[in-house]
Amino acid sequence: MFVVDDDPSVLRSLERMFQVEGYVVESFAHPRHLLARGPGQRPGCVVMDLRMPELNGLELQEALRREGWKQPIVFISGHGDVPVAVQAMKAGAVDFLPKPFSTEDLLAAVERALAQDRAARAVEEEREALRARFSTLSPRERQVCELVTQGLLNKQIAAMLGTAEQTVRLQRSRVMEKLAVDSVAELVRLMERL
């Protein structure tokens, strides 16, 4: 978890509270320090103040996205208004908590953010596994796969590719085996997920 706040007392307080709750915390007193750190690779979230010097929270949110950060964001602010909160949420923030906020509300927002991050990472891991399996296909097997998912029969594929129907049947079988699917319907769903 990453915490960014330019107020040293708030930063220390948040850091202690999250550590007591069992979170691993990295704290930053300036938004540019977080950007210099680089994207986090483990599941987490960013808890940040809205009003900070040089780079406000909305600008930092945009900069993080440009730099490849995927962790969800929870905003905290003593100066937030409805339009700013709406803008933050439209840009992907999980929550926007006005100060003073309760510990329970902040922890609940962080848990929602962490759950969202874990789910997004699980989807991305599944996509990577699918891409890895797909990369094992030969160029011809990829062609056959594409044509099978378009609903073409072996005879039609063979005619399009200028090959024997038996060859297409063999290549189709290899595609199904390499992609670990048992039916054309499964193959179509897998290709949609890719």
> Six-digit token pair at 74?
């929870």
Set out the domains of the chain in order of their start, with CATH numbers: 2-127 (3.40.50.2300), 136-193 (1.10.10.10)
- pLDDT for 80: 64
- The reported pTM is 0.73
Find all residues with CB under 8 Å of 11, minimum gap 6, and list them: 3, 5, 27, 28, 29
pLDDT digits (tens, 9 = 90+) for 27-41: 999 999 999 988 877
pLDDT averaged over 10-residue windows placed end to end, the chain, 194 residues: 92 94 93 88 88 87 90 86 80 87 94 94 90 93 94 93 94 94 91 83
Asked if residue 186 lies in contact with residue 192, where contact means CB atoms within 8 angstroms, the answer is no
- pLDDT for 155: 93
